[in-house]
Amino acid sequence: MTFERRKRKYLKCLQLSSLLLLASVFVSPHIAQAQSSANNERVEYVFKRGDTLIELAGKYMRKRSDYVTVQRLNRIANPRFIPVGKTISIPFRLLKYRPSEASLSAFRGNVSIARDGQTIAPVTGLDIAEGSRLATAAGSFLTLELEDGSRISMPSNSKMRITRLRHILLTDSVDYELAVDSGRMRSKVTPFDKKADRYRVRTPVAVSAVRGTDYRTRVDEATGSAYSETVEGAIEVAAGESLDSANIVSVPAGTGAAATVTGDLAKADLLTPPELVDPAKVQSEETLEFVVAPREAATAHRILVSTDAGFVDIVTEQLSDGATISLPGIEDGRYFAKATAFGRDGFEGMPATYSFKRQLSTLSGSAGKGDFGYRFKWSGAGKGKRVYRFQLLLGDTNAVPIVDEAGLTRDVITLSDLPDGEYYWRVGVTQYSVDPEDTDVFQKWTDFEKLTVAG
């Protein structure tokens, strides 16, 4: 090889080495910390009679030679002879596992599911695997059920990744990890019965771990802060990427923790559940309307509506900074509403759940002079048989009706020869459900309207 060729080869290698050095210098600290955290996570194993480290590696570790790493970490002199009852720690990254299972138990609206760069059409019962990315658009919701019965609910405008969905063979335990990139997520975790069972939720600025509880995770779009709010049980929350951090707090039921982008971690008591005014009333108007009893500590309220008490099949939700929350109309049926209040510290409070009936039944009327007298007409929307009743009163709304026509099936009535005077009239509807098992009969009236007859 000539001197010039050797020189060019040397310069090329030097340039490549420099680029690799620069790449190592500019690795994101968050990525480096996450990699370090994942590499340091371990499970404890107690040796039984007949166990050897080499045999354990052959059965439960990804490579038989991984026993060397475990031997070094635990300072074991002889891998073929370890006392019964000795506890050793093994990095999770070395252990064999089988893929665990999750399924799409319910969804509504525009839901996106992708894995390995491929978009998957959502279907109830669809298997969801590790590595999947899920997103919900505005007015959209989904719920997943994990193999152990735990449930994950995503409301609208949220994005989540399933980073671990595994069953560890050595400990016969589950290893679940989810990442909330934006929006919100609710975790209803089945209580674990094995010490090695793990369920974790990560956000860009914090990580939380539980062993069986009901809690919410939310990433604030404006500030980037991550909120964790415990409804049942208890969780542990740490700022950053690792639960080994010194900045870690325990968050029992009724409390919450917020981690900021700067690494600060604050804890607070959650507001008690709000009270709805007349929550059992039939929701008969075009839009649903809930009224919350006011209190100074609350700055906003949220209402979730579901077809079930477990809030698996969420239908709609709304956030309002007032005491009245209006939601889009839904199909007739029985539903559940979950109400929460937000405190001045930004935490969403404890929930209150109410049941209610939805039966669309609107009614409005008009009156005018026609060719044959005064014509009263009404109209409205609602499914099922509708029967009307018309009343006309003279002089006062508390007077005895001078006209009281019930059992009307048409939407109009004409009255002739009304003497001069001030009249008040209204129309009512009796509506029967189209569901043969629903024997309830719904009735409502319009407000009194005034009609003046003169000359």
* Per-residue pLDDT in tens (0 to 9) along the chain, 455 residues: 444 544 454 444 434 333 333 233 233 333 333 333 444 578 889 989 988 899 999 999 999 999 999 999 999 988 888 889 999 999 989 999 999 989 999 999 999 999 999 999 999 999 999 999 999 999 999 999 999 999 999 999 999 999 999 999 999 999 999 999 999 999 999 999 888 899 999 999 999 998 889 999 999 999 999 999 999 999 999 988 776 656 789 999 999 999 999 988 999 999 999 999 999 899 999 999 999 998 889 999 999 999 999 999 999 999 999 999 999 999 999 999 999 999 999 999 999 999 999 999 999 999 988 777 899 999 999 999 999 999 999 999 999 999 999 999 999 999 988 899 999 999 999 999 888 888 889 999 999 999 998 86
Among the residues of 177-279, which ranges form H helices? Answer: none
In this structure, the number of other CB atoms found within 10 A of the CB of residue 394 comes to: 16
Query: Which strands, in side-by-side order, build the sheet including 333-343?
Result: 314-320, 298-306, 333-343, 352-358
pTM: 0.81
8 A C-beta contact, residue 148 and residue 191: no
Q: Provide φ and ψ at 209, rounded to 5°.
A: -135, 145
8 A C-beta contact, residue 187 and residue 232: no
Total number of residues shown for the chain: 455
Looking at residue 36, its pLDDT comes to 39
Q: Is the dihedral of CA 262, 267, 271, 273 positive or negative?
A: positive
Helices (H) and strands (E) in the chain, counts: 4, 34
Give the span between the Cα atoms of 170 and 443, in whole angstroms: 63
What are the strands, taking DSSP E only, across 247-351? 248-252, 255-259, 265-269, 276-277, 288-292, 298-306, 314-320, 324-327, 333-343
Give the span between the Cα atoms of 215 and 188, in whole angstroms: 7
Looking at residue 220, its pLDDT comes to 93
Give the span between the Cα atoms of 331 and 58, in whole angstroms: 58
Looking at residue 108, its pLDDT comes to 96
Give the span between the Cα atoms of 368 and 250, in whole angstroms: 69
Q: Is 133 helix (H, G, I), strand (E, B) or coil?
A: strand
Task: Measure Cα distances from 221 to 110, 150, 453 in Å.
Answer: 20, 27, 60
DSSP letter (8 states) at residue 348: B
8 A C-beta contact, residue 289 and residue 318: no
Give the span between the Cα atoms of 375 and 256, in whole angstroms: 61
> Residue 30: CB partners within 8 Å, gap ≥ 6?
204, 241
Looking at residue 40, its pLDDT comes to 58
Looking at residue 455, its pLDDT comes to 67
8 A C-beta contact, residue 335 and residue 306: yes
Looking at residue 80, its pLDDT comes to 86
DSSP H or E segment with residue 238: strand 234-239
Across 409-448, b (16+ Cβ under 10 Å) vs e yields eebebebeebeeeebbbbbbbbbbbeeeebeeebebebee
